[in-house]
Chains A and B, each alone.
Chain A
Amino acid sequence: MVSRNSGPPQIDEIDQKLIRLLEKDGRTTNRALASALGITEVTVASRIRRLSEKGIAQVVGILALESGGFNFSVMIGVTVKKGNSIPRVAKAIAKIEESRGVSIVDAYYDLFASVVARDQEHLKEIAESKLFSIEGIESIEFFVGIDPRPYKPEWALNIS
């Protein structure tokens, strides 16, 4: 399960500078980072490892959704039947390959999520074969995205 970190931020000023340099070029060598920050290469390597292991920040290659031909973004507001576990339904939706953000929300629905699809046929398959068969769902309201702006990828909750 993905959950928020608790406690105060665990990053100091050097981490912040390091992250900023990596945001400029995530593939800068440790040697170049070390000389820019005035620390040793070993320290650079261990700080990058720590940021990643603690789930604070991680350098990764990402493939934009559009590159997979996912031109369709659909949001869903889900209500769960009384007596059924909302987290169980959330986990079932999160397991669908095409689902993206899945979360319990505080208003209007029990869950809100988004689903990406290549085309209408693909969306039909996701809805009819995957979503509709999840136990305990009372209603699903679909909000069809017709003109998405590019997603800004830098924030993610599920860092390794």
Chain B
Amino acid sequence: MGAEHLVSKLDDLDRAIIRLLQADGRRSNRDIGRLLDVAEGTIRARLKKLHEHHEFEIVVLKNPSAFGLDCFAHLQFHVTPKYAVEFADELAAFREVVFSSVMASRYNVYGVAITKSRDALDKFLETKVAPLDGLLDYRVLENVEAFRFDYHWMV
């Protein structure tokens, strides 16, 4: 990838549009055009291009606790190396898991899970994760207090 990533190809207008939408994704094209002194059609065309590769998207961010999800945990799995890639994929496919990665350490798969409670997390691990091929052991690091939790990038 190197320097070929999206952010390195953005011009000032793209960045200005992204910044406005990072603050408020509901701002209309007309509003953005007026603020930046550019035609509405230009804004529409730029946004279409930005959305093309799904690197810039309009999403609804939700606070888990407002939806009854009070348990947030880091999971470290020790998986037989032969199964690590498959394990990370299967983990990522679960609704409870928001991120997973193969790691270069003894705990060779990492995951982040969000569930209703610690009980729900333990049940999820026992019933859905434990049966996956290659799992040897795992550690659960439950969040006590979060100081930062965002996985996107600001321009």
Seen from chain A, the residues whose Cβ lies within 8 Å of a Cβ on chain B are: 1-6, 9-11, 19, 22-23, 25-27, 29, 48, 54-71, 73, 75, 77, 87, 90-91, 93-94, 99-109, 112-113, 143-159
**Any chain A CB within 8 A of the CB of B63?**
yes
Closest A residue by C-beta to B57:
A62
Are A57 and B85 within 8 A (Cβ)? no
Are A148 and B99 within 8 A (Cβ)? yes
Interface bits B120-153 vs A (CB < 8 Å: 1, else 0) = 0000000000000000000111111111111111
Query: Which residues of chain B have C-beta atoms less than 8 A from A59's C-beta?
Result: 24-26, 58-61
**Any chain A CB within 8 A of the CB of B66?**
yes
**Any chain A CB within 8 A of the CB of B45?**
no
Q: A59-B26, A154-B62 are in contact. List 17 more A-B contacts (CB 8 A).
A: A48-B26, A55-B66, A57-B60, A58-B60, A59-B24, A61-B25, A62-B58, A66-B55, A67-B55, A68-B7, A90-B147, A101-B149, A103-B144, A104-B143, A150-B92, A151-B99, A156-B62
Closest A residue by C-beta to B154:
A63
Query: Which residues of chain A have C-beta atoms less than 8 A from B28's C-beta?
Result: 27, 29
Decide if the interface of chain B is mainly helix, strand, loop or mixed: mixed
Total count of chain B residues near the partner, CB < 8 A: 69
Query: Which residues of chain B have C-beta atoms less than 8 A from A66's C-beta?
Result: 1, 5, 55
Are B101 and A145 within 8 A (Cβ)? yes
Q: How far is the CA of A120 from the CA of B141 in the complex (A)?
A: 27
Are B60 and A22 within 8 A (Cβ)? yes
Query: Which residues of chain A have C-beta atoms less than 8 A from B104's C-beta?
Result: 143-146
With A5-B63, A64-B54 in contact, do A149 and B100 touch (Cβ < 8 Å)?
yes
